[in-house]
Structure 1
Amino acid sequence: MARRIGIKDVAAAAGVSVTTVSHILNGVQGKRASAETRERVLRIADELGYAPNGLARGLRLQRSQTIGFISDEIATTPHAARMVLGAQEAAAAHGVLLLLVNTGGDAELERRSIEMLLQRQVDGVLYAAMFHRVVSLPESLRATPTVLLDARCEDPAIPSVVPDEVQGGYTAVRELIDHGHRRIGMAVPTEDIPALGLRIEGYRRALADAGISYDPSLVVAEPTVPTETTAGHAAAGYRAARRLLSAGERPTALFCFNDRISAGAYRAAAELGLSVPGDLSVIGFDNQELICEALHPALSTVQLPHYEMGARAVAQLLALTETPGPPPRPVSQEMLSCPLVARASVASPPRL
């Protein structure tokens, strides 16, 4: 096995002291070294294949250079996987290792997982939950730098990174209004999650700003069975859309809680002999590309900024771990905007 190249090897090859090499490689400010010496040391270190000893660096900084990522189901949910990717790449860019644990909502597994992460002396923890839920932070994390991801806590001292669901709902409905729609239905699941209420609030605000009266009969909810699966949401969307489109004065456009609900709405429209977007415009939420691009025509939607959320949560966590003492007050509750992804499912309403 090849011997690991160390600082002493670089120092010997460069003809300088070990202290000088250490100061240059670690970017220590205020230490005298000519530009020529710095350039020579860095070049030789690269030629020799020198890599810093992460363990030694961690001991020196009293940090493990690792952070935990605990989620209920984000790691196994395809459309939220980019949240993990964003966190992982942001951590890697700072030389930090991300330790991922998916609990599946099992409270005992979560407790044991947190215990194991803390035993490994992680520098901090990302605590993530699906659907922008309000969560209670486990007591065992109270003394550890923690950032909530796609979740909020009643304690304002716990920082969080979440999507701006209200703005996303507003953007989706505004797109329909801008195309001339005035009678806009909303197909939703019956799940008790904050994201649902926030998206409905965005729907109502967009209507109000356009001078359109809110009609509660145009918001139709159906249960998802099995809960939270693609098939369950599509079935709920189908039933909700059938109810909306079978009414005496049907809507000319539908805003669907998510892209899976939209897939069911497409099926309902087709069974009733309605074309999208000729007879009915449809807009979703999430930007699950496998669904949006597979539908015909391709679904216009609002994108949940999963990747950006993961990256921003890591940035917040690293800021906390690099700040000595208790976290600064007030702590940021950061909301990221949900941009419109326009495709082909929205057009002007038909002349009825």
Structure 2
Amino acid sequence: MTGRRSSTATMHQVAAAAGVSQATVSLVLNNTGGSRVAESTRLRVLDAARTLGYRPNAAARTLRDGTAGLIGFVGDVVASSPFAGRIVEGAQARAWEDGLLLLTVNTGGDAGIEDAAIEALLSHQVAGIVYASMYHRKLTIPDSLIDVPTVVLNSEDAAGLARSIVPDEVGGGLAATQALLDAGHRRIGLINIESPSSGLPAAVGRAQGYREALDAAGLDVDPRLVWDGDGNPQAGFDGTLALMALEAPPTAIFCANDRTAWGAYQALETLGLAVPEDVSIIGFDNQETLAPFLRPGLTTLELPFVTMGWRAVDTLLNDSAQPDGPEQVSCPLVVRESVARPNRTAG
């Protein structure tokens, strides 16, 4: 019969194996030693704990610290979204840096499930809760979270009670338009994902960035070049047909999400036009199941899901002061093959 290493090693046994006091073991394993424990001693304790198969007592930690070494993550459809699930990846990575686990609940937008999930997480003495949304919007956090350490992720707490981590929509819209300007385009269309009058932060911010880039280049915004879609391929298709039917059509189009850009590609193909030889296209999202596989590959702005998830947990753990407004995370430009210099003179 093969012998097995015990999974119930005690802190006292770790101390004996490492040749140190139990107090020293406690300081090291609970990450509270700081400069009080020499690095050589710390490594010796960790090696002994690993060899003996020591596991910290979660119940004891709950009694001592008031938390169970857990972070709660509540999302609407974040975890099941094909691209926004990377938020969970970033949040989990940051939690693990402090030896914490992320408990994730996907509510599907069901208020009853959300209430039950929050109550269950709080009953497990989580250190705090990340309250996440699939898309950038203004929302109201549940009453049960008002007195709980909470960070709103990928949305904004309308009441300003909780800290919020969101993508920099204005900066992204500006960067997208600037990339087209840098390629030599001066007549640039915009197909948005909603009307800015909707108040949707992504629609408002991306359109604002578009206007700011044109203004900085000394160009007026031609309202005929702006089309308010709904974020779906059909709107990109219809908007592109309308823009290209103008007497002076655009030489480039900024599509405010990748699905809209997909529709724009189809419309241009229907018209017998090529991307980017006849019209340059730039998107927003860097949806990994779509943008790299369009032909040509779509140049787009990446929603920084991993970074935002990481920042949400980091903010929660560091208990930093509430800033004025949400923290904005920049959206990097992902260059592929859908942008080129214009091959004709705009009217």
TM-score, reference length from structure 2: 0.89
Shift of 1:142: 0.4
- The whole-number CA distance in structure 1 between the counterparts of 2:207 and 2:280 is 18
The 5 Å alignment of 1:188-199 reads 188-190=192-194, 192=198, 193-199=200-206
CA contact (8 A) 1:126 1:148 kept: yes
Q: Which residue of 2 aligns with 1:200?
A: 207
Matched, 1:295 2:294: yes
Contact residue 159 and residue 331 of structure 1 kept, 8 A: no
One-letter identity of the residue aligned with 2:278: D
Partner of 1:227: none
Counterpart mapping for 1:67-86 below 5 A = 67-86=71-90
1:209-265 superposed Cα distances (whole Å, 9 cap, x missing partner): 0011111111112346xxxxxxxx112211111111122211100000111110110
One-letter code of the match for 1:109? I
**Any idea what SS the aligned residue of 1:293 has?**
helix
- Corresponding residue to 2:91 among 84, 87, 108: 87
Q: Which residue number in structure 1 is paired with residue 309 of structure 2?
A: 310
Deviations 1:286-329 (A, max 9, x none): 11122111111111011111100000000001112xxxxxx745
Number of equivalent positions: 338
Say if 1:5 and 1:275 are closer, same or farther in 2 by CA, change over 3 A. Answer: same
- Residue 217 (structure 2) aligns with: 210
Of 311, 315, 326 in structure 2, the residue corresponding to residue 333 of structure 1 is 326
3-state SS, counterpart of residue 316 of structure 2:
helix
Q: Is the 8 Å Cα contact of residues 7 and 55 (structure 2) preserved in structure 1?
A: no
SS class of match (1:78): coil
1:148 aligns with 2:152: yes
Q: What pairs up with 1:226-305 in 2 under 5 angstroms? A: 233-305=232-304
Residue 139 (structure 1) aligns with: 143
Question: SS state of the match for residue 268, structure 2?
Answer: helix
Where do 5+ consecutive residues of structure 1 fail to align? 225-232, 321-326
8 Å contact kept, 1:55–1:64: yes
Taking structure 1 as reference, are residues 28 and 81 closer, same or farther at Cα in structure 2, changes over 3 Å only?
closer
Aligned to 2:170: 166
**Structure 2 counterpart of 1:101, one-letter code:** V
**AA in 2 matched with 1:262:** A
Aligned to 1:221: 228
Assess, with a 3 A threshold, how the Cα gap between structure 1 residues 72 and 35 changes in structure 2: closer, same or farther: closer
What SS class does the counterpart of residue 76 from structure 1 fall into? coil
Residue 8 of structure 1 and its aligned partner are, at CA, apart by 2.1
Give the CA deviation at 1:54.
3.1
* 1:294 counterpart letter in structure 2: F
Letter in 2 for 1:124: G
Given the superposition, is the C-alpha separation of residues 234 and 62 from structure 1 closer, same or farther in structure 2, using an over 3 Å criterion? same
RMSD after superposition: 2.4
Rounded Cα–Cα distance in structure 1 between residues aligned with 2:290 and 2:180: 20
User: TM-score, normalized by length of structure 1?
Assistant: 0.88
After superposition, the C-alpha distances for 1:74-108 in whole angstroms (9 at most, x for unaligned) are 11211211111101111112111111112222222
Distance 1:134 1:31, change over 3 A: closer
How far has the Cα of 1:132 moved from its partner? 1.4
For 2:248, the aligned partner's letter is E
| Contact preservation (8 Å) 2:140, 2:158 | yes
Distance across 1 between alignment mates of 2:36 and 2:176: 58
Unpaired runs of 5+ residues, structure 2, are none
C-alpha separation between the residues in 2 aligned to 1:278 and 1:36? 63
Distance 1:257 1:172 in 2: 9
Give 1:351 deviation, angstroms: 2.0
Seen in structure 2, the aligned counterparts of structure 1 residues 85 and 294 have a Cα distance that, compared at 3 Å, is same
Cα distance in structure 1, aligned partners of 2:56 and 2:278 = 63
1:116 to 120, 126, 130: 120
Q: Deviations over 1:115-170 (max 9, x none)?
A: 22222222211111232101111111101001010111233342111010000000
Post-superposition shift, 1:36? Answer: 7.0
SS at 1:104 equivalent = coil
Q: Kindly indicate whether the alpha-carbon contact (under 8 Å) linking 1:131 and 1:194 is maintained by their aligned counterparts in 2.
A: no
C-alpha separation between the residues in 1 aligned to 2:250 and 2:329?
Answer: 30
